Structure 1
């Protein structure tokens, strides 16, 4: 590598490190709990935003972006950690949060053992004896 390109490479790396952005809010939707007022929801939302920002390692967005350049966080990693902390806090406060995973349906109900239909069941399809 040429000696002139090394300072350019270092300058580019420092410039890219300064571009790390910290989350300014959650990227997930949370709904108020069933027995919560809107005022309670707003208060819990504010508290959980502060907790999540502290978990991402900063007390304010400007301080957090300064800290993040040395921690190896990408903006995506910081947002994921912020969202996880925010969701946990809001769930613990009794609010509705999104749940990820397959939807499970209840198995079909079975009739009771003494059930007798008013009509005979249909004849089986296929070969008849």
Structure 2
């Protein structure tokens, strides 16, 4: 029973590591002459627009992380049983090792999707702010 609780706790910790973008990581400036209060309203509207644009991507990152941990635990339990010659004594150890490995792989996969979600959030935010007449700085490519 302790192993089940520990496993559930580890999956919860993994799930807590994955988060949706909370704001843009790009700078946008109001156009000259625009009141700051109007800029703040547009910023809030565009944050909501961008959050809705990446909602599915953020949820996918969370699901992938938890799924990898569960699959790892199941495979580890099976491997523990096979290695132990069918004995149930190694099933828990195998499940624990599999859970740790699955959680690690899940964290790596989720991190990549989280970065992808932040990039998509930034693009949606910039598009919205640009459409409202704000200045979106660009950078020169190599």
Q: Which has the higher contact order (CA 8 A, sep 6+)?
A: 2
* Corresponding residue of 2:118: 79
Report the CA distance shift for 1:70/1:9 in structure 2 as closer, same or farther (over 3 A): same
Task: Name the Cα RMSD after superposition.
Answer: 3.1
Is 1:70 matched up with 2:57? no
Q: Deviations over 1:59-87 (max 9, x none)?
A: xxxxx865641366622111111111000
Describe how 1:1-129 pairs up with structure 2 within 5 A: 15-57=13-55, 68-70=61-63, 74-102=113-141
Q: How many residues are matched?
A: 91
Distance 1:54 1:68 in 2: 15
Work out which of the two has the higher radius of gyration on C-alpha atoms and give 1 or 2.
1
TM-score by length of 1: 0.56
Q: Which runs of 4+ in 1 moved over 6 A?
A: 8-11
Structure 2: which 5+ runs fail to align? 1-5, 65-109
Structure 1: which 5+ runs fail to align? 1-7, 59-63, 104-129
Distance 1:27 1:92 in 2: 18
